Chains A and B, each alone.
Chain A
Amino acid sequence: MKAAVLVFPGSNCDRDLAVALRGAGFDVEMVWHKETALPKVDVVGVPGGFSYGDYLRCGAIAAQSPIATALKAHAEAGGYVMGVCNGCQILAETGLLPGALLRNAGLKYICKTVPLVVETADSAFTSGYAQGDTIDIPIAHHDGNYTADADTLAMLKAEDRIAFTYGDNPNGSDADIAGILSANRRVLGMMPHPERRAEAVHGGTDGAAMFTGLADALVSA
């Protein structure tokens, strides 16, 4: 199993995501944003951080990076993509996922561990959970307030593409959405950080199943 983790200038959770993927058995290669091609991998991780300083708009400049074209091609060819936090914002900016992330409703940056509800187990990323499970996963963002128009929200719901919702909405997200899936269920974007809750040292391991579940799904596929 192979994974690539993209590195943009300002990415700062790239190492953390790579560590979590390696922990689930992936060979991980870091890919610099100026590259125009991806190595042959099963999964591309788009990490958290502040790509390009989050100047202009979170994820907007990264979505125009040379590697973004290859990322879109990988997704369109049915490859797996996991975007966490800034990575989730980047996936929204590339159009791989619908909707946008606005400034938190309280206008403050929030870093804390919050309860998430697993809304669907029907994806490689969430196959390690059961629908309805509540898991504790940290958030750390200033712009995690998910928004989409009513039709998009209805579609996400109808197609069972809401992966996670917040148990206690911390940022004003529409429909309490914390993470969503693409139509083919192979692109996941989520604001919370499963890689920060993957080892005992983190105070809990609720995030580990995201990576092991993904690995298991790839092995059995």
Chain B
Amino acid sequence: MQEPAITPDLIAAHGLTPDEYDSILDIIGRAPTFTELGIFSAMWNEHCSYKSSKKWLRTLPTEGPQVICGPGENAGIVDIGDGQAVVFKMESHNHPSYIEPYQGAATGVGGILRDVFTMGARPIAAMNALSFGEPAHHKTRQLVHGVVEGVGGYGNCFGVPTVGGEVRFHAAYNGNCLVNAFAAGLADADKIFYSAASGVGMPVVYLGAKTGRDGVGGATMASAEFDDTIEEKRPTVQVGDPFTEKRLMEATLELMATGAVISIQDMGAAGLTCSAVEMGDKGGLGVRLDLERVPVRENAMTAYEMMLSESQERMLMVLKPELEAEAKAVFDKWDLDFAIVGETIAEDRFLIMHNGETKADLPLSKLASSAPEYDRPWVPTPAAEPLEDVPGIDPIDGLKALLASPNYCARNWVFEQYDTMVMADSACLPGTGAGVIRVHGTDKALAFTSDVTPRYVKANPEEGGKQAVAEAYRNLVSKGAKPLASTDNLNFGNPEKPEIMGQFVGAIKGIGAACAALDMPIVSGNVSLYNETDGQGILPTPTIGAVGLLNSLDDAILGDVREGHMAILVGETTGHLGQSALLAEVFNREDGDAPHVDLEAEARNGQFILDNAANINACTDLSDGGLAMAAFELAEASGVGVTLDASDTPTLFGEDQARYLIACSFDKAEALMVAAAQAGVPLTTVGRFAGSDVTLGGTSVPLAELAEVYRTTFAATFA
């Protein structure tokens, strides 16, 4: 078959700039073949190469005594004691989900699960952070249904409990929804598998589903803005098969147990190309592939298509040749395709053969290491204008408005479409900050949360970045879990615009400072740029996924609020209303600065909660909607009314950081007061849980009435 000639148009269609094409000519000393051009475009697009973000990602704290493996592998690995490790990562599937919501979201879940079990860990928890356009926008309802069904359709069949996540709505996502999928797995710390190949002449083995034409060019698509040709991009979205993924996971873990696996890499973005180059590069080896041996599901696939296909549920491994028979038996048992498609070679070459023809012959280490890196120009985000006057409001009306908004109502319509209990280790289901999963066969547990407040990040990227980490920290602490480490999924607009790059740089600075101060190093992550449509960018959305450890479930704060419990506020209240939920939902305003985060206070107050967990029945952090929302959430979860003494809007709805609301008995409250005085932690009694009404500033309303609004708004809006 005649391959297309390399023209400036073809180069541009591969997302490569003229300068980048010139570097290709420098590296290989000749014009690339069509297949080689495709390989370069796959390796050098933003999604795979992090060319705009690398410079800044390097500044993040990634180390600590608990970290076994930081960024750079399929997922991060963190020690949880007793010879075990938690393996986790968060990754976006934004562009595909907007084009084809069900499959886009489903394959996002599939991809992140694969990242985790590729390292030898059995997935034990999943989360999904979803951002959609405003509820009234004509695309939103379809996206909500499609994405939620896609997440559930894949995760439920695979058999991993979804333990948390976020769902938000804002007009800035009208043209670009965000689907950030998190997965965590459990592994023995001494049985972790990496991607670096070793040994010359070792068989490179392909396993899993067959290769089709789906997803060809997907990573390049995900590295560009959308415009009115979006419908034409639908064929770049892959189709998921969770049943095959489940078998691939079981087979991979069984195969690892036989000792046959030298190295392993899943085929994600840019499929065969990225996985083979990664394995060779990390091992300092070359790789030869014979494409006629690749299992295919379509006829007459070209080398170009096979190298760029993003068909799902595929793995590449380097196996010990002497254990090939054992390996084959495992894959036969699970009825999965298994083929030796090449070998490791001593020369630094990425040699692609197809039916005896050389389709690509590139220097492998250069292909991997010389991706462009840009120091994009950026301008700092200007300081926010001071907050205009906020009119007074009846506090019950304010609370009702929040509970009746799609952003702050209960998410049960979403979570009930996910299997939250499979594996029978779920100790705390989604909907209350962090989810908690018992470590199977032990009394330990892990807590999981994902957080970010994009309107804060937009107003003040650095404080907003800090706040995302701080809120994740608080959500873990609220369950009694010690925060261990985090993963970041950085969603931004077009990095070629200096103001967008400025948001990115500011957010990274804030995230880095908070992760360092709160000892939650970033161990894995993903960057999604170009989330723009017709030049309109999303709100800057750096999602933080975080994991905490409970050494014993006895230490967990999972109790109920009881009649007569005190409502005790931990932390200092100044009544910060800038960028608050109340301002957005009630007054339709997004002005003022984001609340500032005092990282010392966060660490001190968090440690106080952990040290005094035995005296705390129930706890929640204060975030969107401030004290009023937190008190309602605790009251609603247990069906006990609440009375707060304050009546002014800043005290009830301000969003100052480093705060928690606690419910406990009078006796325990006394003990907490003593401990707080010693620790220098501000503690205030702000009200009482009792009766069946919610009373704020003298106005009462039955809890049941508010709960009805809270529980039914989501379905009423979208079902």
Whether the pair A108, B243 counts as a contact (CB closer than 8 A) is: no
Those of A107-155 within 8 Å (CB) of chain B? 108-112, 138, 140, 142
Whether the pair A140, B419 counts as a contact (CB closer than 8 A) is: yes
- Of B152-160, B276-284, B505-513, the stretch lying at the interface with chain A is B152-160
Whether the pair A12, B421 counts as a contact (CB closer than 8 A) is: no
For residue A55, which residues in chain B have a CB less than 8 angstroms away from its CB? Answer: 243
- Of A37-45, A94-102, A183-191, A194-202, the stretch lying at the interface with chain B is A194-202
Interface assignment of A50: CB less than 8 Å from any CB of chain B: yes
Partner of A15, one of B149, B242, B246, B423: B423
CB-based nearest B residue for A16: B424
Q: Output the least CB separation between A27 and chain B (Å).
A: 17
Whether the pair B423, A53 counts as a contact (CB closer than 8 A) is: no
Interface assignment of B311: CB less than 8 Å from any CB of chain A: no
Partner of A111, one of B153, B335, B417: B417
Q: Output the least CB separation between B481 and chain A (Å).
A: 15
Whether the pair A201, B425 counts as a contact (CB closer than 8 A) is: yes
Whether the pair B422, A109 counts as a contact (CB closer than 8 A) is: no
A10-B427 contact given A53-B241, A193-B421, CB 8 Å threshold: no
Interface assignment of A29: CB less than 8 Å from any CB of chain B: no
Interface assignment of B666: CB less than 8 Å from any CB of chain A: no
Those of A54-69 within 8 Å (CB) of chain B? 54-55
Q: Output the least CB separation between B183 and chain A (Å).
A: 15
Those of B158-217 within 8 Å (CB) of chain A? 158-159
Query: Total interface residues on B, using CB and 8 Å?
Result: 32
Partner of B246, one of A12, A48, A111: A12
Whether the pair B417, A9 counts as a contact (CB closer than 8 A) is: no
A202-B416 contact given A9-B243, A10-B157, A10-B243, CB 8 Å threshold: no
Partner of B152, one of A53, A109, A195: A109
Whether the pair A12, B422 counts as a contact (CB closer than 8 A) is: yes
Whether the pair A53, B418 counts as a contact (CB closer than 8 A) is: no
Once bound together, how far apart are the Cα atoms of A54 and B246, in whole Å?
13
Q: Output the least CB separation between A144 and chain B (Å).
A: 13
Interface assignment of B420: CB less than 8 Å from any CB of chain A: yes
For residue B149, which residues in chain A have a CB less than 8 angstroms away from its CB? Answer: 108-109
For residue A48, which residues in chain B have a CB less than 8 angstroms away from its CB? Answer: 422
Once bound together, how far apart are the Cα atoms of A203 and B244, in whole Å?
32
A12-B159 contact given A53-B241, A53-B243, CB 8 Å threshold: yes
Whether the pair A111, B416 counts as a contact (CB closer than 8 A) is: yes
Whether the pair B156, A196 counts as a contact (CB closer than 8 A) is: no
Whether the pair B157, A9 counts as a contact (CB closer than 8 A) is: no
Interface assignment of A181: CB less than 8 Å from any CB of chain B: no
Per-residue 0/1 for B407-431: is the Cβ within 8 Å of any A Cβ (1 yes, 0 no)?
0000010011111111111110000
Once bound together, how far apart are the Cα atoms of A142 and B149, in whole Å?
11
Q: How large is the interface on A (under 10, 10 to 19, 20 to 34, 35 or more residues)?
A: 20 to 34
Once bound together, how far apart are the Cα atoms of A34 and B553, in whole Å?
39
Chain A interface helix/strand/loop/mixed: mixed
Q: Output the least CB separation between B684 and chain A (Å).
A: 31
Once bound together, how far apart are the Cα atoms of A54 and B156, in whole Å?
12
CB-based nearest A residue for B148: A108
For residue B424, which residues in chain A have a CB less than 8 angstroms away from its CB? Answer: 13, 15-16, 19-20, 195-196, 198-199, 202
A109-B156 contact given A13-B422, A16-B422, CB 8 Å threshold: yes
Whether the pair A111, B420 counts as a contact (CB closer than 8 A) is: yes
Q: Output the least CB separation between B624 and chain A (Å).
A: 25
For residue B417, which residues in chain A have a CB less than 8 angstroms away from its CB? Answer: 108-111
Whether the pair B421, A196 counts as a contact (CB closer than 8 A) is: yes
Once bound together, how far apart are the Cα atoms of A83 and B454, in whole Å?
46
Whether the pair A140, B156 counts as a contact (CB closer than 8 A) is: yes
Q: Output the least CB separation between A29 and chain B (Å).
A: 17
Those of B200-252 within 8 Å (CB) of chain A? 241-244, 246-247
Interface assignment of A49: CB less than 8 Å from any CB of chain B: yes
Q: Output the least CB separation between A204 and chain B (Å).
A: 12
Q: Output the least CB separation between A115 and chain B (Å).
A: 15
Per-residue 0/1 for A159-174: is the Cβ within 8 Å of any B Cβ (1 yes, 0 no)?
0000000000000000
For residue B423, which residues in chain A have a CB less than 8 angstroms away from its CB? Answer: 15-16
Whether the pair B247, A10 counts as a contact (CB closer than 8 A) is: yes
Q: Output the least CB separation between A142 and chain B (Å).
A: 8
For residue B418, which residues in chain A have a CB less than 8 angstroms away from its CB? Answer: 109, 111
Once bound together, how far apart are the Cα atoms of A53 and B422, in whole Å?
16
Those of A1-33 within 8 Å (CB) of chain B? 9-10, 12-13, 15-16, 19-20, 32
Q: Output the least CB separation between B595 and chain A (Å).
A: 34
Interface assignment of B438: CB less than 8 Å from any CB of chain A: yes
Whether the pair A50, B438 counts as a contact (CB closer than 8 A) is: no
Of listed B247, B419, B421, B553, residue having the most chain A CB within 10 A: B421
Of listed B158, B333, B422, residue having the most chain A CB within 10 A: B422
Q: Output the least CB separation between A90 and chain B (Å).
A: 15
Once bound together, how far apart are the Cα atoms of A20 and B421, in whole Å?
14
For residue B415, which residues in chain A have a CB less than 8 angstroms away from its CB? Answer: 111
For residue A202, which residues in chain B have a CB less than 8 angstroms away from its CB? Answer: 421, 424, 426-427
CB-based nearest B residue for A50: B157
Whether the pair B334, A140 counts as a contact (CB closer than 8 A) is: no
CB-based nearest A residue for B556: A201
Q: Output the least CB separation between B44 and chain A (Å).
A: 36
Of listed A55, A111, A199, residue having the most chain B CB within 10 A: A111
For residue A201, which residues in chain B have a CB less than 8 angstroms away from its CB? Answer: 425, 427, 438, 553
Once bound together, how far apart are the Cα atoms of A34 and B244, in whole Å?
17
For residue A9, which residues in chain B have a CB less than 8 angstroms away from its CB? Answer: 243, 246-247, 334-335
CB-based nearest B residue for A107: B149
For residue A10, which residues in chain B have a CB less than 8 angstroms away from its CB? Answer: 157, 243, 246-247
Once bound together, how far apart are the Cα atoms of A52 and B335, in whole Å?
11
For residue B247, which residues in chain A have a CB less than 8 angstroms away from its CB? Answer: 9-10
Q: Output the least CB separation between B54 and chain A (Å).
A: 38
Whether the pair B157, A54 counts as a contact (CB closer than 8 A) is: yes
A53-B553 contact given A9-B334, A111-B417, CB 8 Å threshold: no
Of listed A20, A109, A193, residue having the most chain B CB within 10 A: A109
Whether the pair B419, A50 counts as a contact (CB closer than 8 A) is: no
Per-residue 0/1 for A74-89: is the Cβ within 8 Å of any B Cβ (1 yes, 0 no)?
0000000000000000
Once bound together, how far apart are the Cα atoms of A203 and B418, in whole Å?
18
Once bound together, how far apart are the Cα atoms of A10 and B422, in whole Å?
13
User: Chain A: residues with CB nearer than 8 A to chain B?
Assistant: 9-10, 12-13, 15-16, 19-20, 32, 34, 48-50, 52-55, 108-112, 138, 140, 142, 193, 195-196, 198-199, 201-203
20 additional contacts, CB 8 Å, given A50-B159, A109-B418, A111-B156?
A9-B243, A10-B157, A12-B422, A13-B422, A16-B422, A49-B159, A108-B416, A109-B419, A110-B416, A111-B416, A111-B420, A112-B416, A140-B421, A142-B156, A195-B424, A196-B426, A199-B424, A201-B425, A202-B424, A202-B427
- A selection of 25 A-B contacts at a CB cut-off of 8 Å is A9-B246, A9-B334, A13-B159, A13-B422, A15-B423, A16-B423, A19-B424, A49-B159, A50-B157, A53-B242, A53-B243, A53-B244, A108-B416, A108-B417, A111-B419, A111-B421, A112-B412, A140-B419, A142-B156, A193-B421, A196-B426, A198-B424, A199-B424, A202-B426, A203-B427
Q: Please name the 5 residue pairs, one residue from A and one from B, whose CB atoms are nearest each other, closest first.
A: A12-B159, A53-B243, A16-B424, A50-B157, A196-B421
